[in-house]
Structure 1
Amino acid sequence: MLTLVIGIVTAIVVWFGLNSAWPGHPVWNSIAAVVGFLGVGLVINLQIKKRLEAIFGEVQSSILETQEHLRRKINMLQNKMQGGPRVQAMVEKEQAEAIMKAIKILDKVAPLKKWNLLAARQADTLRGQLLFQIKDFTAADPYLDKAIILDPVTLAMKMTRLYKRGRMEDVTKAFKKGIRRFKDEKSTLIYALYSWILVQEDRVDEAVALLFEAKSKTESEVLKQNWEHLANGRLKRFSNAGLGEQWYALYLEVPKAPKIRQQAGFGGPGMGGFR
């Protein structure tokens, strides 16, 4: 990483320069060298951060612009009493095209990798989130596997794909890390997802125990009701539908009464999380 190399070179130059001009003070010269090293790193990282924020902001603006365009188009079609699968397919197609266009913007991060090792991971995390949104799961998987988890939605995406690929041990590990990191209401989606997975795996007793824990750690009525249903043998009434779009955006289930829906609002997982 160039930042580290430049910092080390700066420290060496400062130390030898001061030692030559002010001999006999190795401690102070060393302190000055360390300050030089840290100062260079700070300046470079601030510049890289600004550049990354500009790129991510461009991605967000591109998607929000398309969302606004689609919102107007949907309203127009609804006013004309038009809808159905064909319109839904049209909306999804335009959303996918817009997201692929936004993903191309992330290529601008490539030159920054030599300055900041995390730059590529931040961009790849966002890339994985966007590919997941347009259901290009095969392409999203390698990015989500190595994603920087800064929010529960990104973790839920990763857990979903691990489950779909039959990696239950990794799902459990991801869940345990998630509930240690995300507390209170931030853990609701994670508990809901993992309990759903346990039910699908016919591990109902474990799901009951999990939801008993969840209802004491969150205020979610959905989790509470699901615990009551499972604890009383009402397996068919178990449902995460009450979480709304947050749940359906994982594409594990579809609403019972499908209607034209826009993609889950961009930015929750990725844009606000990078620092």
Structure 2
Amino acid sequence: MLTLALSLLTGVILWFALNALWPGHPVWNSVLGVLGFMGVIVLINLLMRKRLEAIFKDVQTSIMDTQERLKRKITMMQNKMQGGPKLQAMIEKEQAESIRETIKILDRVAPLKKWNVLAARQADTLRGQLLFQIKDFEAADPFLDKALVLEPLTLAMQMTRWYKRGKMDDVSKAFKKGVKRFKDEKATLIYALYSWILLAEGRQDEAVVVLDEGKTKTENETLKQNWDHLVNNRPKRFSNAGLGEQWYALYLEQPKAQIVRSQAAFGGPGMGGRRSR
């Protein structure tokens, strides 16, 4: 890593220079050498963070521009009484094309990874999220597998893809880590997703236990209702629809009354879609 190498070199040069110019003070010279080492690290990290923020801002701007353009098109088409599956398919196609162009912006992160070890991982996490949102799941999987999980939706995307690929051990481990990391209402989506998966796998009793814990910790009405349905043996009434867009963003189910809509803003849920492996 160039940051560490340059910082170490700076510290060593500073230490030798101080000892030559100010002999007889080894302790202070060492302290100043360490401060020089740390100062270079801080300076480089600040510069790299600004460059990363600029790149991610460009990504966000591109997505928001696409969103606004598609919203205008949807409104125009609906005003002309045109809609339905054909319009939905057209919007999804245009959206996917725009997102793929947006993803290319992340290529600008490549030169920074020599200076910041997390730069590439941050970019790859966002790349995985965007590919997931346009339903290019196979392309998203390698990035999501190693994603930097900073919020529940990213973890939910990981769990969804591991479930679809039959990796239930990974799903269970992710759930346990997730509910420890995300507290209170932030864990709602994680509890809802895992209980849905357990029910889909025919593990209703385990889903009841998960929902019992989830409804207590999050006080979410959807979790409470689903727990009530399962303990009273009404699994067909189980529904995470109450979570809205954040649930449909996982593409495990689609709304009963599907509405044509454009890609959600950066970091948010995407369009509803069919279940697909």
One-letter code aligned to 1:220: N
Q: Does 1:259 align with 2:259?
A: yes
Aligned ranges 1:175-186 → 2 under 5 Å = 175-186=175-186
Structure 1 length as normaliser, TM-score? 0.96
Q: Is the 8 A contact 1:249 1:264 kept in 2?
A: no
Give the corresponding residue for 1:39.
39
- Deviation, 1:263, is 2.3
Cα-Cα RMSD: 1.0
Give the corresponding residue for 1:20.
20
Unaligned 5+ runs, structure 2: 270-277
Give the corresponding residue for 2:213.
213
Q: Does 1:165 align with 2:171?
A: no
CA distance in 2 between counterparts of 1:219 and 1:133 reads 28
Give the corresponding residue for 2:93.
93
- Deviation, 1:23, is 1.5
CA distance in 1 between counterparts of 2:101 and 2:21 reads 56
One-letter code aligned to 1:93: K
Q: How many residues align?
A: 269
CA distance in 1 between counterparts of 2:11 and 2:241 reads 58
Runs of 4+ displaced beyond 3 Å = none
Give the corresponding residue for 1:62.
62
Partner deviation per Cα, 1:62-83 (whole Å, 9 max, x = no partner) = 1100100110111111111110
Aligned ranges 1:236-275 → 2 under 5 Å = 236-268=236-268
Tell me, what secondary structure is at the counterpart of 2:58?
A: helix
CA distance in 2 between counterparts of 1:268 and 1:83 reads 24
One-letter code aligned to 1:103: I
The structure with higher relative contact order (CA 8 Å, sep 6+) is 1
CA distance in 1 between counterparts of 2:29 and 2:178 reads 45
CA distance in 2 between counterparts of 1:265 and 1:157 reads 16
Q: Is the 8 A contact 2:74 2:261 kept in 1?
A: no
- Deviation, 1:258, is 1.8
One-letter code aligned to 1:204: Q
- Deviation, 1:26, is 1.4
Unaligned 5+ runs, structure 1: 270-275
One-letter code aligned to 1:82: Q
Q: Is the 8 A contact 2:71 2:261 kept in 1?
A: no
- Deviation, 1:43, is 0.6
Tell me, what secondary structure is at the counterpart of 1:117?
A: coil
Bigger mean CA offset, 250-259 vs 34-43: 250-259
- Deviation, 1:261, is 2.4
Q: Does 1:156 align with 2:156?
A: yes
Tell me, what secondary structure is at the counterpart of 1:148?
A: coil
CA distance in 1 between counterparts of 2:128 and 2:136 reads 9
Structure 2 length as normaliser, TM-score? 0.95
Tell me, what secondary structure is at the counterpart of 2:189?
A: helix
Give the corresponding residue for 1:273.
none
CA distance in 2 between counterparts of 1:239 and 1:22 reads 73
